[in-house]
């Protein structure tokens, strides 16, 4: 029966509320709907807890908001190389670029691209890109870095010389905002 046409009736005995047969205020909730709602709530809780734990775990080791872009880059690269996903995630501006962690992370769900940085070397001289020339609309400080990676969508695993990693100043300090060539 269509929910618009259904008349809510009080279960026998005149008591409103949930009964052991899955009836709430006279309406039966299907078992499938109960399972779907429960699964949805569980997934949302896991996602929220994951983000909260990541932030709590890394807060003590994150460079201060006053730290230079180079200091944040060094921390970011070491974290990426050692697969410290909590740190790379914390040093990445949410939703703007991936965090080099390979496995599951909330940003991977958003970006659908989360390669692994196997090593890095030869950090080049930083260069500035004015806000009017960036896709982020912010002034950026970029560093060319020779990296070795695996799993990057659109690239074969191996060396990527001169890979650019760009940072923008945020209220919590410098954060990785873009990376790649060009």
Q: What is the pLDDT of residues 118-136, one digit of tens each?
A: 999 999 999 999 999 988 8
The answer, yes or no, to whether residue 2 has pLDDT greater than 70, is no
CATH fold group of domain 58-180: Nuclear Transport Factor 2; Chain: A, (3.10.450)
Residue 3 binned pLDDT confidence (cut-offs 50, 70, 90): very low
How far is it, in rounded angstroms, from Cα 140 to Cα 154?
24
Beta carbons within 10 angstroms of residue 108's beta carbon: 18
Q: Where are the domains of the chain?
A: 58-180
Can you tell me the mean pLDDT for 43-48?
70
Token output for 136: 């982020």
Token output for 149: 């990676």
- β-pairing verdict for 127-129 and 140-150: antiparallel
Mean pLDDT score across all residues of the chain? 78
Higher pLDDT, 164 or 102: 164
How far is it, in rounded angstroms, from Cα 4 to Cα 26?
14
Can you tell me the mean pLDDT for 164-173?
93
Q: Which among 90, 124, 129 has a CA at the least distance from the CA of 107?
A: 90
Report the pLDDT value the prediction gives residue 154, as an integer from 0 to 100: 81
Token output for 130: 């004015």
pTM to 2 decimal places:
0.62
- Distances in Å between the Cα of 7 and the Cα atoms of 1, 4, 26, 86, 160 are 10, 8, 9, 52, 66
Residue 163 in contact with residue 179, Cβ under 8 Å?
A: yes
Helix (H, G, I), strand (E, B) or coil at 179: strand
């Amino acid at each position: 029966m269509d929910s618009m046409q259904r008349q809510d009736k009080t279960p026998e005995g005149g008591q409103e509320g949930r009964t052991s047969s899955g009836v709430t205020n006279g309406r039966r909730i299907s078992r499938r709907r109960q399972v779907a709602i429960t699964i949805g709530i569980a997934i949302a809780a896991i996602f929220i807890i994951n983000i909260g734990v990541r932030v709590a775990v890394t807060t003590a080791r994150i460079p201060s908001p006053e730290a230079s872009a180079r200091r944040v880059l060094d921390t970011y690269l070491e974290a990426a190389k050692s697969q410290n996903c909590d740190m790379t995630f914390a040093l990445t501006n949410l939703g703007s670029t991936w965090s080099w962690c390979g496995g599951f992370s909330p940003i991977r769900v958003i970006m659908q691209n989360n390669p692994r940085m196997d090593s890095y070397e030869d950090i080049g001289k930083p260069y500035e890109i004015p806000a009017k020339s960036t896709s982020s609309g912010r002034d950026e400080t970029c560093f060319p870095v020779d990296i070795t990676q695996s799993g990057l969508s659109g690239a074969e695993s191996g060396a990527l010389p001169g890979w650019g990693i760009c940072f923008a100043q945020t209220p919590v300090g410098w954060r990785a905002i873009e990376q790649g060539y060009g």
